[in-house]
Structure 1
Amino acid sequence: MTTAPPPTTAPPPARGARGVRVRLAAALSDPVLRILVTSTAVGRIGRGVFLAVTVLYFTRIVGLSAGEIAVVLTVSAGLGVAASAITGHLADRISARRILLAGMTLDGVALVAYAFAADFWAVLAIGAVVGVAESAANAARMAIIARAFDGPRRVSARAILRTVTNIAIAAGAAAGGLALLADTGLAYRAAIVAAGLVVLAGVPIMRGLPPRVDAPRVVPAAPAADSAAPTADSAEPTTAAPATPVVRRASPWRDARYLAVTALSAVFGMQFGLAEVGVPLWIAHDTSAPTAIVAALLILNTVIVVIFQVPLSRGTHDVRRAGTVTAGAGVLMVLACALYAGAAPVVAWLAVALLIAAAVAHAFAEVMSQAGGWGLSFELADPRAPGAYQGVFSMGFNLGAMAAPIVVTAALGLGLAGWALLAVVFAASALGTTLIAWRSAKGLDAVDGRVSAA
């Protein structure tokens, strides 16, 4: 029977005032994490450039309407949902490395193709490819993390990658701002081509991943019945060697607990849509705060994520702690909703103060919910099928992201009552996740107790 390779040991996280730079430097001492971090940093710079210019490029240069852009994003997200589950399943049977490389390559080529799109149908076709490619790459990357690191190191590696992602996207967005300043078709197209090429530049780096991050090859045993059958020349049947038992592959679709955690995490994940869509609309239409505060709040969010994602992710490989951290995220999201709502009926300076306080609570809720979700997604998954489980979890996140703009805008259309509704939704999803985590921890404790007694 083939055994899985030993997990890679990542360096311990830095503490105290040594900060983000020291933690990232320590991460680079591990070969697998070094490759993931370096390739992610390069690729996400390209993604940041694209995100900075894409909406204005579609509207001002290609000539798409807001409705057409919404259709493109919805179709892209919908296909990404399916791609996450399918490619996660394939990552356990083919090769997570090959899927990751194919997804990154296709993503980069498709981004370059956007520069040559002339109408809605071309953009829609390219958007469909981008949705599939990016989701496939993300699912494969999560499968690699699940297989390459042990319990506490998985969440740490995921947190480090998210920190790098935020830094890289911010840097790319700043570079993309040059095209916005020029505000010409040539500048937009040049920026988009550059974005795709930078994404492609991360592919050769990822080729350095060792084969051990893939699933071990399973060789089916020959049937024992044929060798045990008597022959004409033998008086007695030959005794056959015992065959290696065939273990049924685990499936997340038969794991009700994992599906429940995935669904609840997807619901709480709509907080990203709240930050990206709901809050800017609320500030512009329902508060007296200057619209420039939107950019300041996004910068504040990025700073908090970069500084605190790794420290606040420590220990969430423990299922009970992951549940507790998620509960804290729920409390903070309720507070954030109350503060956002309170910014509506007050004067400008007080509205700004309340919005900043809300954004801080929201950012910490985001950091904590991600840490808890990663811990549960790794630790509650069956280790025999990490790709399939991570694919399903990614699919849930994509579903939440797809539904978020509709749900958030509909809720905020109700005014203060909408904020109350959102607070209840976030609190319920966090509480449900916490209860499942605590119950699962009790079950794991009981199993550990029986093993120790034996």
Structure 2
Amino acid sequence: MTNRPTRYRSALHHRIPGGRDGRRMLLVALIDKIGTGLWAASTALYFTYVTGLGIAQIGILVGVAGGIGIAGAPLAGRLADRFPVTRILIAAQLLRAAALLALLTTDDYILLVLYSALGAVPDRATNVLTKLYAARAAGPERVRYQAINRTVANVGWAIGGLAAAAALSAATSTVYQLLLVGNALSYAVMAGLTFTCAEPPAPSRVVAKSAPASAAAGNTPEATEATEASPPSPWRDRTFLAFTATETALFLDDTILQVAMPLWIVHATDAPVGLAPLLLVLNSVLVVLFQVPLSRFGATTSAARRLLIPLACLFVAGTLALAASAADGRWTAVTALVVGAVALTFAEMVHATASWELSVALAPDDAQGAYLGVHGLAGSTQRCVGPLLLTAVIATGPLAWPLLGAGLAASCAVQYRLVRAKAAERSLSVPTVTVSEH
């Protein structure tokens, strides 16, 4: 009886990769998405009713901020190879809060665009930094940790969205401002929690610190020169750049589900408009239920590579279902849309699992941050280009969906071949990473 509490605590400790700090960072992710859910649901309304912007002005503001925000991913990755990732995360969180609160101080359009852009850079940076923290802290269990993190994030989004929906029933300027302040406060709380987390080992900084010691030990000039050489650059790695390009295409699942599907329902099908938010709820529920169980199928690099085959099939099935939803009849449309949403949601989860493992495995240890920063450009670029591409698909009509599915399947095939080539070059060995429990 006396040993049972100890065994229970031990099991609880190992349930979340990364130990105590891993659990704290999951709490940070939950708070992040709750706050973001509060603000995301009211952003357009805030700019419309509080600052008095028109639809075209809001569109330009969002587009400019998104374009400038693309720089956040590679910048964060480069910094994380030189400085503690937790400290950069804290700075990013505080900058997000400051940029958001700055919106309360002005109605000037130029300043609103500037503050929104300043907030978009650390926002995109945070995505890369949290992934890098997981790679360093969770080590071989990084895929499972990222799956848990994504599940927690979806729960946070749901909580924030529901809270915003309840608050927006009042529909006053004060409510919009309070939602903005609530999101800013969530960033401050996140910074405080991140400050309590231990810094995980960073291979790039370990290599850098070992250079003087090697020279002092009297190593040969050749060895000293190799140690002091600059780390590899992802911008000169053609294979990794091609991998990132295919990732930009595969990240389209996000925009299909959140942007294209609601527009498609309204403009091309007989399905009721109210189905659109229900499909997004279905997406969140499926992610919460299945993202963690699916992560075990991508726990190694070879397993993650094999996932690209079912991923291609899911993309084809989902886009064919969307094409079929344009047929006459309400129930035919509803059935096809549900099938498409389920297939594309599983594509989203399978791609997330494969992407987490492959992007880290393809990155050299001494330039992990820089490589993951470049990989982060895939998601950021897709957010800018994806809506334009998919609105063109919708305008073209049902036949465009199978063509898109074929293109996504081809991207999977290209990526499958790229990873095999890299495996032959580097054997895709993944070092075990330990994390301090202090």
1:99 partner amino acid: I
Alignment match, 1:406? 388
1:218 partner amino acid: K
- From 319, 333, 340, give the equivalent of 2:315: 333
Using the aligned pairs only, state the percent identity.
31
Alignment match, 1:50? 39
Alignment match, 2:198? 210
Alignment match, 1:166? 154
Contact 1:48 1:168 in 2 (8 A): yes
Q: Report deviation, 1:356.
A: 0.8
Q: Report deviation, 1:107.
A: 0.8
C-alpha separation between the residues in 2 aligned to 1:162 and 1:177? 22
Alignment match, 2:102? 113
Contact 1:340 1:358 in 2 (8 A): yes
Alignment match, 2:357? 375
Contact 2:312 2:409 in 1 (8 A): yes
Alignment match, 1:14? none
Alignment match, 2:276? 294
- From 211, 216, 221, give the equivalent of 2:212: 221
Alignment match, 1:154? 142
Q: Aligned with 1:314: secondary structure?
A: helix
Residue 269 of structure 2 is aligned to residue 321 of structure 1: no
Deviations 1:382-404 (Å, cap 9, x if unpaired)?
A: 11111111111112221122111
User: Could you state the TM-score of these two structures normalised by the residue count of structure 2?
Assistant: 0.88
Alignment match, 1:256? 238
Alignment match, 2:164? 176
Distance change (3 Å), C-alpha of 1:23 and 1:288: farther
Look at both structures and tell me which one has the larger radius of gyration over its CA atoms. Answer: 1
Alignment match, 2:328? 346
Distance change (3 Å), C-alpha of 1:78 and 1:443: same
Alignment match, 1:396? 378
From the two aligned structures, give the one with the greater helix fraction. 2
Alignment match, 2:128? 139
Q: Report deviation, 1:418.
A: 2.1
C-alpha separation between the residues in 2 aligned to 1:199 and 1:271? 28
C-alpha separation between the residues in 1 aligned to 2:17 and 2:427? 34
Alignment match, 1:385? 367
Residue 179 of structure 2 is aligned to residue 197 of structure 1: no
Deviations 1:167-221 (Å, cap 9, x if unpaired)?
A: 1011011111123211111111111111211222111100122134443352543
C-alpha separation between the residues in 1 aligned to 2:303 and 2:218? 50
Q: Report deviation, 1:25.
A: 9.0
Q: Aligned with 2:390: secondary structure?
A: helix
Equivalent positions of 1:81-96 (< 5 A) are 81-96=70-85
Equivalent positions of 1:58-73 (< 5 A) are 58-73=47-62
Q: Report deviation, 1:32.
A: 2.5
Distance change (3 Å), C-alpha of 1:262 and 1:276: same
Query: Which is further off, 299-308 or 94-103?
Result: 94-103
2:172 partner amino acid: T
Alignment match, 2:409? 427
Alignment match, 2:293? 311
Q: Report deviation, 1:101.
A: 0.6
1:420 partner amino acid: P
Gaps of 5+ in 1: 1-21, 228-238, 449-454
Distance change (3 Å), C-alpha of 1:320 and 1:222: closer
C-alpha separation between the residues in 2 aligned to 1:422 and 1:389? 28
Deviations 1:17-55 (Å, cap 9, x if unpaired)?
A: xxxxx9999217712211210111112210110111112
Q: Aligned with 2:271: secondary structure?
A: coil
User: Could you state the TM-score of these two structures normalised by the residue count of structure 1?
Assistant: 0.85
Deviations 1:251-284 (Å, cap 9, x if unpaired)?
A: 2122222111111011110221111211111101
C-alpha separation between the residues in 1 aligned to 2:194 and 2:280? 30
Residue 350 of structure 2 is aligned to residue 362 of structure 1: no
Query: Which is further off, 200-209 or 109-118?
Result: 109-118
1:149 partner amino acid: A
C-alpha separation between the residues in 1 aligned to 2:240 and 2:362? 7
Aligned pairs, number: 413
Q: Aligned with 2:280: secondary structure?
A: helix
2:95 partner amino acid: L
Q: Report deviation, 1:341.
A: 1.4
Q: Report deviation, 1:322.
A: 1.2
Q: Aligned with 1:72: secondary structure?
A: helix
Distance change (3 Å), C-alpha of 1:446 and 1:38: closer
1:128 partner amino acid: A
C-alpha separation between the residues in 1 aligned to 2:417 and 2:363? 17
- From 20, 23, 27, give the equivalent of 1:34: 23
Contact 2:297 2:307 in 1 (8 A): no
Contact 2:134 2:145 in 1 (8 A): yes
Q: Report deviation, 1:446.
A: 10
Deviations 1:75-102 (Å, cap 9, x if unpaired)?
A: 2222222121122111101222221110
Q: Report deviation, 1:62.
A: 2.3
User: CA RMSD, aligned part only?
Assistant: 2.6
Deviations 1:101-129 (Å, cap 9, x if unpaired)?
A: 10011112222333444243232112101
Q: Report deviation, 1:242.
A: 4.7
